Amino acid sequence: MSFGIEILTSTGRQSSDALNTYGIFYILQCNSEAGSASIPEFDSNHGFYVPRVQNSNNHQIFTWNNSTKVFTWAKSNGNLHSSDFSVVFFRGYV
């Protein structure tokens, strides 16, 4: 290893290169069937998001505009959609 740090762990040395992963940096709580939110810190070139809809069979259509930094969720059909779900935003430079 020529860069970064190494940490002694119970399973041996772990270098900062090995830590190269995505982390959760923001969790958006959505309380409507459709809507939008501004997340200025998110860059889809270095991250992704994971919707977690647990109380509806109908899943929203999610879009992200990396220029305006606006995240939107819209109903995908005319049926009832969840109005209580979260979207987990990850960032990293893998």
Partner 1 sequence: MSYGYELYNDSGNIVASSNDRTLVTYAKYTLSGSSVTNQITYDYIPGAPYNVSGQTTLTGCYTFGLPGGFTMADNLFLGFTVPVGRSVFVRYLYKPAGRLIISDQPTLTMVVAGPLQSVSSYPATWGMIGYNDVGTATFHSDARVLKILKRIDGTSFNAGGHSPVFFMSGNYFYHKLASGTRRLRMTGVRLDSATTYTRRCNNNVGVSLVADQIWETDPLGNGFLASVDLTLI
Interacting residue ranges for partner 1, rule: CB under 8 A:
2-5, 7-11, 14, 16-25, 48-55, 57-59, 61-62, 76-77, 79, 86, 90-94
Of the pair 14, 83, the CB lying nearest partner 1 is at 14
CB of 91 to partner 1, least distance (A): 6
Q: Dihedrals φ, ψ of 21, to 5°?
A: -155, 175
Asked if 34 and 75 touch (Cβ cutoff 8 Å), the reply is: yes
Of the pair 9, 31, the CB lying nearest partner 1 is at 9
CB of 36 to partner 1, least distance (A): 18
* CA dist., res. 78 & res. 76, Å (int): 7
CB of 68 to partner 1, least distance (A): 20
28 contact partners, CB below 8 Å, separation of at least 6 = 37, 39, 71, 86, 87, 88, 89
* CA dist., res. 7 & res. 55, Å (int): 41
Of the pair 32, 61, the CB lying nearest partner 1 is at 61
CB of 8 to partner 1, least distance (A): 6
